[in-house]
A = this chain, B = another copy of it.
Amino acid sequence: MALFSSGIEYGIHSLMLLTDSKGTLRDMSVRDLAELQGVPYDYLGKIFTKLSKANLVKSTEGKGGGFRLARSPEHITILDITEAIDGKKRIFECKEIRQNMALFEQGVPQWACSGVCGVHRVMNVAQERMEAALAQQTILDLTRQTARKAPDEFEIDVQEWVTSRR
């Protein structure tokens, strides 16, 4: 299994729909987001609850309600989203097997359990590198990037689809 759940994919793509390439925010309900993207509705609901708890989106309840970005899209990074949805996921979980050494029957010596184990340290560095890359890209970056690929009318089509459902 991959490190990041597919909920991450749903989440990021959904947040990208809550803004356009100019950074203008858009309000949408989970139902609309799910249907527009062909993604399971209930499941996407759970994801938005998490995004909301992490203060990445703001909800308005009741009829006509929905979600909108809680901050401007250039201040929401991909790392923010992954941590909001999947929690702080680690590449590697150290089990401290260095303390199980048969040689340590009389008790684990101090040098063997102090500090971070060598394997763990390497993994931590790798994880930091990965997270730095994820923190470098924002929702706005991604939205702009895809807008550049799509024809101009696409953003208009999306907007029309959304308003036609109110």
Taking Cβ atoms with an 8 Å cutoff, the residues of A that contact B are 1-4, 6, 8-10, 12-13, 16, 35-39, 78, 89-95, 97-98, 100-103, 111-112, 114-115, 117-119, 121-123, 125-127, 129-134, 137, 142, 145-146, 149-151, 154, 157-158, 161
CB neighbours of A102 from chain B (8 A) = 35-38, 161
> Would you call the interface of chain A mostly helix, strand, loop, or mixed?
helix
CB neighbours of A39 from chain B (8 A) = 97, 100
B2 adjacent to A89 (CB under 8 Å) = yes
Partner of A126, one of B35, B112, B130: B130
Indicate how many identical chains form the complex. Answer: 2
Distance between A118 CB and nearest chain B CB, rounded to angstroms? 5
